[in-house]
Amino acid sequence: MSKRAYFGTDGIRGQANSHPMTAEVALRVGLAAAKLFKSQDERRHLVVIGKDTRLSGYMVEPALVAGFASVGMDVRLLGPMPTPGVAMMTRSLRADLGVMISASHNPYTDNGIKLFGPDGYKLSDDRELEIEALMGQDLHVGLAPPTELGRVARVDDSQARYVEIAKATFPRRLSLSGLRIVIDCANGAAYKVAPVVLYELGAEVIKIGVSPDGTNINEDCGSTHPEAVARAVKEFRADIGVALDGDADRLIICDEKGHVVDGDQIMALIADYWAGRDRLNGGGVVATVMSNLGLERFLAARNLKLERTKVGDRYVMARMREGGFNLGGEQSGHMIMSDFSTTGDGLLAALQVLAVLKDSNKPMSELARQFEPVPQILENVRFAGGKPLETEHVKGVIADAEQRLNGSGRIVVRASGTEPLIRVMAEGDDEKLVHEVVKDIVGAVKKAAA
């Protein structure tokens, strides 16, 4: 595959007002994507744009709008909206393209641009490369005449529409009445919609992380800082806590004792529940190379398979579509349930967990630990440049580590697609050995990156 100049594992992402997250790049994205997604027929073409609550959204959104409108594409602005809501609205409004302005779980100083096709799915690598090729054109190429410029309007009921879609995914025979739920919206995109969905389904709702000011998204709250929801669960004696990230496409659950439940346990819980009701398609679950070996063993004991992909929820989604699976996700809390959505949706995943909680009549702490995780160590090594993973020394140390684990564990060493980090993960039954191999690999990577 050709080298990608702008797009990483999850769209374009970077520090706001620095390359590639500048107004000029956003303008070029709008121009290029509009040219690619405008078909040859005479109808008006449409793009929908949603965003999270970052200050820099006010810079990126108008630049994208200018790009799309100048090529003759109509624009509908959704305002603050979860990433999966943008995907849903792209299909609902029969748009040619959907755009989400967000850097997900990153700090507010970052931002990003994610693109969805008319089917509501994230664009393929090939489509992104086509956009990159068009982004290199002169800015005046392909502009619409003044009589054919795009029109821009806000969609006033977009959040209400998402609320109704989300509520419809919860089993009609159940209600959340009697449950006290803490919801942490990370001061992000779901700060309005998530509490409303839970309240309208009958829950007593305690909401935190619902006061965005442009700079506090993901700050000491949300799925990347689960201690906030854990603290609130204990303080308010809630039955469960749900923490979303900045764009609400991932979640972390917290039981009534304040213990955090990761994405692997959530996948296990939903998979077992669905399999018992003949609702699990594909004979198993799709996850990434980062998911715990314990999940694989848990599923195997139930004659279910775990299929692994490289990291990135769109790779999980692609494998789900190929293999007819309806459940997939990542350890980090991305949950994709293709019966309901074309991309990860933290709120919809929380509703499925809540359905299990209501059906089982057990406390969350009894449901939270579906399997005993295999000891797993993950360390990140920051690097300034170069390709430390391609050095012979690093390759040799990784090969030696794999030999030492001797089939009783796994090693995954990869460059992050969103930050200048090398991620080193190892897991196995022998915790001491796992620590040793991670330490050796991290040392080798640091030496190569120096």
Residues annotated as catalytic are 104
CA atoms of 359 and 269, how far apart (whole Å):
13
**Helix, coil or strand: residue 76:** strand
CA atoms of 194 and 213, how far apart (whole Å):
18
The CA–CA distances, whole Å, from 31 to 9, 84, 144, 336 equal 22, 24, 11, 30
Report the sign of the C-alpha dihedral through residues 19, 21, 27, 33, in that order.
positive
CA atoms of 375 and 16, how far apart (whole Å):
37
Q: For the chain, how many helices (H) and strands (E)? A: 14, 18
Q: Around Cβ 90, how many Cβ atoms within 10 Å?
A: 29
What token pair was written down for 304? 């279910």
- Sheet with 251-254, edge to edge strand ranges: 204-208, 180-184, 240-244, 251-254, 260-261
**Helix, coil or strand: residue 425:** strand
CA atoms of 441 and 445, how far apart (whole Å):
6
CA atoms of 73 and 50, how far apart (whole Å):
16
CA atoms of 266 and 32, how far apart (whole Å):
39
Beta carbons of 108 and 219 less than 8 angstroms apart: yes
Burial class (CB in 10 A: 0-12, 13-18, 19+), 50: buried
CA atoms of 166 and 345, how far apart (whole Å):
10
Output Rg (C-alpha) for the chain, integer angstroms.
Answer: 22
